[in-house]
Structure 1
Amino acid sequence: MQITELLTPYYEVAWLPWAVQYFFLAGVATGAALLVAYCTWGPAHSTRQSLLPALVFTLAISAIAAPVSLLADLHQPARFWHFYAHFTPWSWMSLGALLLPVFVGLSVAMCASWWLGKSSWMRALSPLLVLSALSISIYTGAEIMTVRSRPLWSTLWVPINLMLTGWLATVGVAFVLQRFMPASLRPDLQALQALRRVGLTVAAALVLVALAWALSGIAGFNSSYDAALRLWHNFPVWRTTMVGSALFGAIIVGALWRGRHRLGAWGYSLVLGIGLAASAWAFRWALFMGVQGVPKYGAGLYLYYMPLGGDGLLGMVGMAGLCVALVAMLSWALEAFPTRSQHHGSAAALS
């Protein structure tokens, strides 16, 4: 009997877990920006106006936290300056260095306008915020799609899936964060049901995109489909991951579908929101960390062991801690310095 030994070299991953955090928070922020811009034009005392505070809260936290994770991914924050000193317009990463500060600035300006009760300012900013949010969605997706050496990345379906899963995470994060806002600013049940409908629409779009991706692959127009089939047939760990993620997503969307009258319950909306956000985060983990385990050349899978330090588990815990701190700070600020709408609500209650 002849024994053939295969040796798999160890390769450092190009994308660290910091990228997962950044692309997740950027997706949440772009979805929140689009919904804020839409709700800004709602009439007074409408469902859209009731939902606006929770969406502004979501936008503020995600738009502030996302650049922090990006700077951490660069290892040396000073490297960010190189994008301006040595600008390369053919690089999506270099273009992102221009697009991201604009988006963060517009997001902060929109949130501040809401806090000050300046609806005219918000409506003036909303078209710019929509364009900026779409530019971030395009840049983050194109940054991955341009890697031609990996068929699982080099496809137009990656930016589309990143956008849709990010916007689904926006719905989930809004479900969670609205529970930590002052009672006077929390959306009513009708507004939560409207947010649920947004989530169902995005989920339906994801199903259609998945079907279109499979059909285009069967027709021979999509090399990423062939690469995914190879993983499915050759590697049980990927097969288990794909089946598990599909079942988890189906359960969460099913809970969203069946939860029309349960959204007012504190625990139900919290668990549902965490599930929606977790599914979007898990998609990014598989996309960035899992795909890097697939060899560009040769057979087998590269083994990746997540470090416990700043480039791994500790960094992820740190980003979660930053988001929790931002939630606490903004919740306290809303209590200590009420918005104009809160002032009006208090005056009405006293009269």
Structure 2
Amino acid sequence: MQITELLTPAYDVAWLPWAVQYFFLVGVATGAALLVAACSYGSAGTRLRRLLPTAVLVLAVSAIAAPVSLLADLHQPFRFWHFYAHFTPWSWMSVGALLLPAFIGLSLAACAAWWLGRVQWLRLLAPLLVLSALSITLYTGAEMMVVRARPLWNTLWVPINLALTGWLAAVGVAFILERFLPAHQRPDAISLQLLRAIGLWLAAALVLVALLWAATGLMGGNASFDAALRLVRQFPVWRDGMLLSAIGGVAVMAALVRGKWRLDRRGYTLVLGLGLAASAWAFRWALFMSVQGVPKFGAGLYLYSMPLGSDGLMGMLGVLGLCVALVAAASWALEVWPSRQQPALQRAAA
């Protein structure tokens, strides 16, 4: 009997954890942008309108932090300039270099309109903000879907899942950040129930998408399902990951349903928000980092060891610290200068 040993070189991952932070934060930003646009058209005093300060806070923090993560992922200072100096319209990354600044600008303009109490300005910006948010959703999803070498990415279900999980994370972040608003701007229990209902519908849509993904795979029309099934069968680490994902999904759904009777407890909203945000982040970690551990050719897995420096743990902690600093700055500004937008909002409500 002859034994043939195959040695596979270990390759560095192409997309570092910075990409996980960027795709998470930009997903939150697009969800917050859609919520801001919807809330701006709510009548004064309604529960939809009372969610507006929370949605604006989430949008401001995520829209500023997301491009910072993207620039860090590019590694070299001013590397982003090449996207403009050598524009390639057939590249989604190059197209995104045009779409992202427009989205960031519209997001900050919408936040400024709310800050100044210009509700009509906000309503005029809302349609543009929605179109821009959807363009970012399309570009970020397509950027992964076009990679034909990886069946787990090369499917229409990837951008759909990225969109739904990003918007669900925006709901979770809203549950976390609403407590940092001044008392007169926090949503009441009825408005929080509306936020919970949005999260429940998004979670239900995710379950439906997962079932459709599995159904098309079983019918032989989805190579990504076949690839995932092979990984689950052959590698315990993927099998355990899928099991934990299923348990986490059930827990999130149960928490959203249970929230009908528990949202008056601030500790519960914090745990619920953290759970929703963590689920969306974990999905992106598996999609980016774990999938890169699957060889494009050959067998086996590449095990990824996260570095402790700026390209790994310290980088992620840095992004978290940036978000905390932005929340603290916004909370302080709203406490110190509430008069900049409150009188106009009161006139609009009258």
Structure-2 separation of matches of 1:83 and 1:341 = 38
Structure 2 residue 132 is matched with structure 1 residue 132: yes
Residue 345 of structure 1 and its aligned partner are, at CA, apart by 8.8
Partners of 2:117 and 2:344 within 8 A in 1: no
What do the CA deviations read for 1:199-258 (whole angstroms, capped 9, x no partner)?
A: 000000001101111111111111001000100110010000010011012112201111
337-346 or 84-93, which deviates more: 337-346
Structure-1 separation of matches of 2:261 and 2:43 = 25
What do the CA deviations read for 1:5-54 (whole angstroms, capped 9, x no partner)?
A: 44231101011000000000000000000011011000010111111100
Structure 2 letter corresponding to 1:73: D
Match of 2:120 in 1: 120
Residue 181 of structure 1 and its aligned partner are, at CA, apart by 1.1
Match of 2:146 in 1: 146
What is the Cα-based RMSD across aligned positions, in Å?
Answer: 1.5
Match of 2:209 in 1: 209
Match of 1:255 in 2: 255
Residue 260 of structure 1 and its aligned partner are, at CA, apart by 1.2
The residue matched to 2:335 in structure 1 has which SS? helix
Calculate the TM-score normalised by the size of structure 2.
Answer: 0.97
Structure-1 separation of matches of 2:87 and 2:346 = 51
Calculate the TM-score normalised by the size of structure 1.
Answer: 0.96
Structure 2 residue 291 is matched with structure 1 residue 291: yes
Match of 1:182 in 2: 182
What do the CA deviations read for 1:54-94 (whole angstroms, capped 9, x no partner)?
A: 00000000000000000000001310000000000000000
Unaligned stretches of 5+ residues in structure 2: none
Match of 1:109 in 2: 109
Structure-2 separation of matches of 1:122 and 1:343 = 16
Partners of 1:184 and 1:342 within 8 A in 2: no
Partners of 2:171 and 2:195 within 8 A in 1: yes
Match of 1:163 in 2: 163
Partners of 1:117 and 1:339 within 8 A in 2: no
Structure-1 separation of matches of 2:316 and 2:41 = 36
Structure-1 separation of matches of 2:230 and 2:251 = 27
Partners of 1:50 and 1:187 within 8 A in 2: yes
Partners of 1:61 and 1:326 within 8 A in 2: yes
Structure 2 letter corresponding to 1:256: L
Structure 1 letter corresponding to 2:313: L
Structure-2 separation of matches of 1:275 and 1:178 = 16
Structure-2 separation of matches of 1:258 and 1:180 = 24
Structure-2 separation of matches of 1:338 and 1:135 = 33
Describe how 1:322-341 pairs up with structure 2 within 5 A.
322-340=322-340
The residue matched to 1:30 in structure 2 has which SS? helix
66-75 or 331-340, which deviates more: 331-340
Partners of 1:116 and 1:339 within 8 A in 2: no
Structure-2 separation of matches of 1:80 and 1:345 = 39
Unaligned stretches of 5+ residues in structure 1: none
What do the CA deviations read for 1:155-196 (whole angstroms, capped 9, x no partner)?
A: 000000000000000000000000111111100000000000
Tell me the percent identity.
71
Match of 1:271 in 2: 271
The residue matched to 1:44 in structure 2 has which SS? coil
Match of 2:13 in 1: 13
Residue 341 of structure 1 and its aligned partner are, at CA, apart by 5.4
Structure 2 letter corresponding to 1:12: D
Partners of 2:155 and 2:222 within 8 A in 1: yes
The residue matched to 1:77 in structure 2 has which SS? coil
The residue matched to 1:304 in structure 2 has which SS? coil
Structure-2 separation of matches of 1:293 and 1:60 = 34
Describe how 1:87-106 pairs up with structure 2 within 5 A.
87-106=87-106
Match of 2:34 in 1: 34
Describe how 1:337-348 pairs up with structure 2 within 5 A.
337-340=337-340, 342-343=342-343
- Runs of 4+ in structure 1 deviating by more than 4 angstroms, as ranges, are 1-4, 343-347
Structure-2 separation of matches of 1:237 and 1:4 = 25
Structure-1 separation of matches of 2:4 and 2:243 = 32
The residue matched to 2:80 in structure 1 has which SS? helix
Partners of 2:103 and 2:132 within 8 A in 1: yes
Structure-2 separation of matches of 1:237 and 1:322 = 32
Partners of 2:116 and 2:344 within 8 A in 1: no
Match of 2:197 in 1: 197
Describe how 1:307-326 pairs up with structure 2 within 5 A.
307-326=307-326
The residue matched to 2:187 in structure 1 has which SS? coil
Structure-2 separation of matches of 1:52 and 1:342 = 13
The residue matched to 2:90 in structure 1 has which SS? coil
